């Protein structure tokens, strides 16, 4: 996860941006049509992308040469799609079907939603209310709906079981090697190294735990950014907006301090000390820290999602909405570049971690964020966390938490728009 459902904040972050307000509606196009039309361009494009990744990423297991995408006009649609997904190294069972998820503040669209599995390959968890509505080839749709829907797409199973020790056939072929951290038998944990990046830890951490460098969100973000530019340039604006949204997902994940640093609120010395004790057989502190980290991560997402959902149901325009709409800080950041996500987005999120943890400890009942006996994960859906904060926290500490979360979503909006401007500027029609 990271920000619960990315679509909620994305609709807000983009809906007043002039480039989106003025964007022409686009014609819905199946992936197979795009791939058939552009396979020759894609062959060169994907070879260039591979060369970029090898040259620029701090850690990158190269693409096995057999998986390189090659134009083949005799291929049928299914074979070409499979070759494309394997060359991108995303789960080859990803449907990439034609659908959209509506803005939760708008009335529900007419008609029946699609079955969960026709969009999302992850099991449907209780209490999660996704609603995938079908699109038909040739139908017109607004750019915002395509973009905002796609910002959630990388959490629908694209990055699941891609490692050599994953429970999948394809993991063995993709060349990413074994899963660097997390439990390979849990499907959802297998996507973590694609959605988290610890780029701003102390050198001591990288020396003590090299696996913390083994993450790939910058790779994914760059892959989909470049595909978006190619699609816009070659006259496939539906895929231009959709790939742009998919690229933005990875950037948005890195605005979340629990995705951008190893253990927000703990110093390198503490982490190494805890790990050293664990290696000496005293693992209690480490086990406790892992649980607390996970509980705080989930509590933040839960709190933020419930807050946006509640405001939406009341048609409220509160401080969260104002922060997501505001474009005032967008131009205060450095110009967009390939290094922006690491040097600006994740660097900022890493510096926000300690204050975030302090604000959570001050306001959220200790059971949820400071008790290693409690496992937030399985119970998350049943917890009315926001109500409990409202009831138990002092006004000052509650406001502290609200201000921190609001600031983080301000970052989410500003960086998402700056990245989109980077994509649109590079294509002739914008
Ligand atoms: Zn994610």
Tokens 């083994």 correspond to: 214
In a domain, 303, yes or no: yes
DSSP secondary structure letter of residue 62:
P
pLDDT by residue for the chain (430 residues), tens digit each? 556 789 999 999 999 999 999 999 999 999 999 999 999 999 999 999 999 999 999 999 999 999 999 999 999 999 999 999 999 999 999 999 999 999 989 988 988 999 999 999 988 775 566 789 999 999 999 999 999 999 999 999 999 999 999 999 999 999 999 999 877 777 778 999 999 999 998 888 888 888 889 999 999 999 999 999 999 999 999 999 999 999 999 999 999 998 988 888 888 777 777 777 777 777 777 788 778 888 888 889 889 988 998 999 999 899 999 999 999 999 999 999 999 999 999 999 999 999 999 999 999 999 888 888 888 776 776 678 899 898 999 999 999 999 999 999 999 999 999 999 999 998 865 4
What confidence score (pLDDT) does residue 429 get? 57
DSSP 8-state assignment for residue 108:
P
For ligand 1, the distance from its centroid to the CA atom of residue 2, given in whole angstroms, is 6
Q: How far is the CA of 260 from the centre of ligand 1 (A)?
A: 12
User: What's the 41 CA to ligand 1 centre distance in angstroms?
Assistant: 29
Residue 2 lies in a domain: no
- Residue 75 CA, ligand 1 centroid: distance in Å: 32
CA distance 127 to 131: 12
Query: 282 alpha carbon to ligand 1 midpoint, in Å?
Result: 33
The whole-number pLDDT of residue 166 equals: 93
Per-residue model confidence (pLDDT) at position 162:
97
Q: Which residue shows structure tokens 């950037």?
A: 251
Residue 196 sits at the vertex; the CA angle it makes with 273 and 11, to the nearest 5 degrees, is: 140
Give CA–CA dist 157/63, Å, rounded: 20
Residue 416 lies in a domain: yes
Q: In this structure, is residue 246 part of a structural domain? A: yes
Secondary structure (DSSP) of 358-374: HHHHHHS-HHHHS-TT-
User: For residue 183, is it within any domain?
Assistant: yes
Give the residue among 49, 91, 100 at the shortest CA–CA distance from 228.
Answer: 49
For residue 37, what are its two tokens?
């039309």
Q: 246: CA distance to ligand 1 center in Å? A: 10
Cα of 152 vs centre of ligand 1, distance in Å, is 8
CA of 359 to the centre of ligand 1 (A): 23
User: Residue 277 Cα, ligand 1 centroid: separation in angstroms?
Assistant: 32
Question: What's the residue count for the chain?
Answer: 430
Number of H helices, E strands in the chain: 20, 4
Range of the domain at 189: 7-425
How high is the pLDDT of residue 2?
59
d(CA 324, CA 314): 17
Residue 349 lies in a domain: yes
Number of domains the chain is built from: 1
Query: What's the 3 CA to ligand 1 centre distance in angstroms?
Result: 8
pTM metric for this prediction: 0.94
- Answer whether residue 1 is part of any domain: no
Q: Separation of 414 CA from ligand 1 center, angstroms?
A: 18
d(CA 109, CA 344) in angstroms, rounded, equals 38
> 191 CA distance to ligand 1 centroid (A)?
8
């Amino acid at each position: 996860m990271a920000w619960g459902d990315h679509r909620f904040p994305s609709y807000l972050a983009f809906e007043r941006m002039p480039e989106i307000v003025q964007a022409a509606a686009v014609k819905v196009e199946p992936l197979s049509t795009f791939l058939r039309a552009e396979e020759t361009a894609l062959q060169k494009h994907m070879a260039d992308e591979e060369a970029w990744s090898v040259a620029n990423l701090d850690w990158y297991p190269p693409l096995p040469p057999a998986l390189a995408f090659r134009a083949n006009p005799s291929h049928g649609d299914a074979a070409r799609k499979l070759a494309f997904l394997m060359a991108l190294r995303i789960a080859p069972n990803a449907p990439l079907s034609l659908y959209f998820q509506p803005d939760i503040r708008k009335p529900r669209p007419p008609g029946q939603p699609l079955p969960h599995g026709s969009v999302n390959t992850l099991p449907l968890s209780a209490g999660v209310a996704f609603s995938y509505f079908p699109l038909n080839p040739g139908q017109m749709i607004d750019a915002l709906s395509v973009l905002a829907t796609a910002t959630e797409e990388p959490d629908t199973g694209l990055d699941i079981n891609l490692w050599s020790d994953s429970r999948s056939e394809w993991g063995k072929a993709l060349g990413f090697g074994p899963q660097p951290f997390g439990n390979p038998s849990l499907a959802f944990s297998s996507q973590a190294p694609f959605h988290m990046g610890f780029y701003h830890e102390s050198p001591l951490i990288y020396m003590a735990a090299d696996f913390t460098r083994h993450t790939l969100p910058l790779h994914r973000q760059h892959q989909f950014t470049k595909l978006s530019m190619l699609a816009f340039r070659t006259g496939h604006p539906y895929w231009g907006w959709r790939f742009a949204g998919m690229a933005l997902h990875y950037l948005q994940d890195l605005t979340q301090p629990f995705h951008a640093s190893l253990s927000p609120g703990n110093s390198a010395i503490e982490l190494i000390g805890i790990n050293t004790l664990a290696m000496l057989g005293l693992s209690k502190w480490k086990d406790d820290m892992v649980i607390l980290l996970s509980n705080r991560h989930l509590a933040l997402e839960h709190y933020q999602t419930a807050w946006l959902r509640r405001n939406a149901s009341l048609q409220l325009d509160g401080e969260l909405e104002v922060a997501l709409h505001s474009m005032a800080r967008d131009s205060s950041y450095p110009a967009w570049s390939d290094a922006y996500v690491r040097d600006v987005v994740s660097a900022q999120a890493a510096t926000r971690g300690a204050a975030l943890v302090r604000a959570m400890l001050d306001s959220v009942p200790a059971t949820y964020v400071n008790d290693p006996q409690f496992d937030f994960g399985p119970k998350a859906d049943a917890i009315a966390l926001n109500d409990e904060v409202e009831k138990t926290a002092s006004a000052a500490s509650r406001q502290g938490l609200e201000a921190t979360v609001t600031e983080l979503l301000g970052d989410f909006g500003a960086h998402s728009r700056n990245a989109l401007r980077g994509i649109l500027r590079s294509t002739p029609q914008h």
